[in-house]
């Protein structure tokens, strides 16, 4: 509870002024001193490239405003100074090529303070960058640091606790220490710990008013990719996104006619990325839904407060899938720091109780949404309706549901009870030949979307053989903070080949908890 209040005070110092500034800048620190780096290198490079090409292709406010990447060998090295991600995919890809070209297997000694020095240097560079951009009229107030290591995560946390006592951490929102392990090295209990889940519980440690999260994951592309995709979630916690209004079950004391309403304060989170947000994947006729539309709700960025009033309960078996449409959103208890701790706790318990009761009764909820700010040109308020579905996790799923005006006629004949054997036999034989899966797992399907987006973002002018590392000019080696010399960052060398950055039309120049998918054998919730 104390750590929560400390974190709240830290965030009050740097209020976000607009949607894009709520997203923290990112510093990725990659520790390559472990013997297992040879296996981790390829999967990390692929996962990072996949996730960043997706982030660069998303239209709208920038979800990763600034990115910097550090490499820890015998000492730290800044591979990528802070860059605007959307405008610099070619530089990011060149940086990832540097990762792939690193020597393998025990070329660098383990131990040392390289990770801590990289954290200190990254914070110093962010402070200098923030001063520079603030003078130019733009500002990004917070930064999150992700440390990928195959060393003991607990030892890394202990080093951070010892070394960061006298460091200014006001702009630091969180440090994630991710211990990457091969599956062969995992104990049975560790396998459960690193199983991808929608919102895994973090082993959080409060230090100096900010959070240190310690997690363990496997060194495979899917786990690392989902780790980086958490950067795409809306990180703003200035206010809640949704008020879910339910009847209190009794009458208010002041009147005998008007019932009171119970309000659960919630946040919205995307379950899927809207394909319409990916530049270059549509023919230009499909556009992102208007945020002011009376029949549209969006989870990112959280630009307005939605209110859904529950009007009915529905039996789960009585809802036809054909009347549900649009993208689903996840509803979860709010993490808004402006609420009192006791109110947050009560709200969370009430939300969990609602989920449990809906599952027990096998109910769904029908809720009505009214626009908060109606346009003067509208003569009539248009209501939109949503179905709220419970699950085994501590979340609800919300999807738009059809109303009479949208419903098309569907007069279909009833299914015949009997069929001739000459047609029934071949159909049964065809079905028997199909592979059967108990649940649908999206991890089994690939659409080549990453390859397509990379081809749109990065097109080399001509091919050139990459230079060996010992023949390349020296890059900047950040100075340690023990010296009083001012740290500087040299420009990134454009190795291994010249590149042309292709920026699709419609992508403007911006100024500005882990979420994993289940493994292939896990049940998909929501």
pLDDT on residue 152: 87
Return the pLDDT at 201. 39
pLDDT of the chain along its 526 residues, tens only? 443 443 333 333 323 333 344 789 999 999 988 777 877 888 999 999 999 999 999 988 889 999 999 999 877 889 999 999 888 899 999 999 998 888 655 555 556 688 999 999 999 999 988 887 766 555 667 899 999 998 888 999 988 988 888 788 888 989 999 999 876 555 545 444 444 433 333 455 555 556 789 999 998 999 999 999 999 998 877 788 999 999 987 554 454 555 688 999 999 999 999 988 886 554 443 444 444 455 567 767 777 889 999 999 999 999 999 999 999 999 999 999 889 999 999 999 999 999 999 999 999 999 999 776 655 555 778 889 999 999 989 999 999 999 999 999 988 888 888 888 888 889 999 999 999 999 999 998 999 999 999 988 876 533 444 454 555 444 444 444 433 333 333 333 333 332 333 333 333 333 333 333 444 444 444 4
Contact 126, 140 (CB under 8 A): no
Residue 207 is predicted with a pLDDT of 52
Contacts 24+ apart (CB under 8 A), 104-112: 104/37, 104/38, 104/41, 105/35, 105/37, 105/38, 106/35, 108/32, 108/33, 108/73, 108/74, 109/33, 109/74, 110/33, 110/34, 110/35, 110/151, 111/33, 112/33, 112/74, 112/75
All domains of the chain in start order, with CATH: 25-184+206-231 (3.40.50.410), 304-372+382-409 (no CATH)
Residue 39's pLDDT is what? 79
Classify residue 271 as exposed, middle or buried by CB count within 10 Å of its CB (0-12, 13-18, 19+). Answer: middle
Strands in 219-373 per DSSP E: 242-251, 259-270, 306-315, 329-333, 363-369
Rg of the chain taking only CA atoms, in angstroms: 26
What is the rounded distance in angstroms from the CA atom of residue 161 to the CA atom of residue 206? 10
Length of the chain (residues)? 526
What pLDDT was estimated at residue 51? 95
């Amino acid at each position: 509870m104390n750590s929560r209040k400390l974190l709240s005070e830290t965030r009050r110092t740097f209020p976000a002024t607009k949607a894009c500034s709520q997203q923290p800048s990112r510093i990725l620190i990659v520790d390559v001193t472990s013997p297992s780096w040879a296996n981790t290198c390829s999967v990390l490079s692929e996962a990072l490239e996949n996730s960043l090409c997706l982030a660069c292709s998303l239209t709208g406010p920038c979800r990763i405003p600034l990115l910097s990447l550090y490499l820890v060998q015998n000492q730290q090295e800044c591979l990528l100074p802070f860059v605007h991600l959307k405008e610099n995919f070619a530089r990011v890809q060149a940086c990832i090529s540097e990762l792939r070209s690193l020597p393998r297997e025990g070329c660098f000694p383990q131990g040392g303070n390289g990770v801590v020095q990289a954290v200190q240097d990254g914070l110093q560079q962010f402070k200098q960058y923030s001063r520079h951009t603030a003078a130019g009229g733009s500002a990004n107030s917070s930064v999150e640091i992700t440390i990928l290591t195959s060393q003991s995560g607990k030892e890394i946390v202990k080093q951070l606790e010892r070394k960061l006592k006298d460091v200014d951490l006001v702009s630091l929102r969180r440090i994630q220490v991710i211990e990457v392990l091969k599956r062969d090295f995992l104990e049975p209990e560790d396998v459960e710990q690193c199983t991808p889940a929608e919102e895994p519980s973090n082993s959080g440690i409060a230090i100096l008013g900010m959070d240190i999260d310690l997690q363990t994951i496997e060194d495979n592309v899917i786990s690392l990719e989902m780790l980086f995709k958490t950067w795409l979630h809306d990180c703003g916690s200035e206010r809640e996104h949704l008020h879910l209004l339910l009847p209190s079950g009794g009458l208010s004391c002041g009147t005998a006619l008007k019932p009171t309403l119970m309000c659960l304060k919630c946040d919205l989170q995307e379950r899927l990325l809207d394909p319409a947000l990916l530049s270059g994947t549509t023919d230009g006729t499909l556009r992102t839904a208007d945020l002011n539309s009376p029949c549209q709700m969006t989870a990112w960025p959280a630009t307005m407060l939605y209110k859904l009033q529950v009007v009915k309960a529905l039996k789960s078996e009585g809802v036809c899938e054909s009347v549900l449409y649009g993208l689903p959103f996840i509803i979860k208890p709010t993490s808004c720091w402006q609420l009192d701790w006791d109110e947050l706790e009560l709200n969370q318990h009430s939300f969990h109780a609602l989920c449990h009761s809906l599952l027990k009764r096998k109910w769904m909820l029908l809720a009505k949404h009214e626009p908060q700010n109606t346009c003067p040109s509208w003569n009539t308020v248009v209501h939109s309706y949503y179905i709220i579905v419970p699950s085994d996790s501590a979340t609800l799923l919300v999807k738009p549901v059809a109303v009479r005006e949208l419903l098309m006629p569907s007069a279909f004949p009833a299914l015949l009870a009997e069929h001739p054997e000459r047609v029934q036999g071949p159909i049964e034989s065809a079905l028997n030949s199909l592979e059967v899966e108990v649940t649908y797992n999206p991890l089994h399907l690939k659409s080549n979307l990453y390859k397509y987006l990379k081809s749109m973002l990065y097109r080399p002018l001509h091919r050139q053989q990459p230079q060996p590392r010992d023949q390349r000019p020296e890059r900047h080696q950040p100075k340690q903070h023990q010296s009083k010399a001012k740290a500087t960052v040299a420009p990134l060398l454009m190795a291994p080949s010249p590149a042309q950055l292709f920026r699709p039309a419609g992508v403007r120049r911006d100024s500005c908890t882990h979420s994993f998918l289940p493994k292939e054998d896990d049940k998909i919730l929501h």
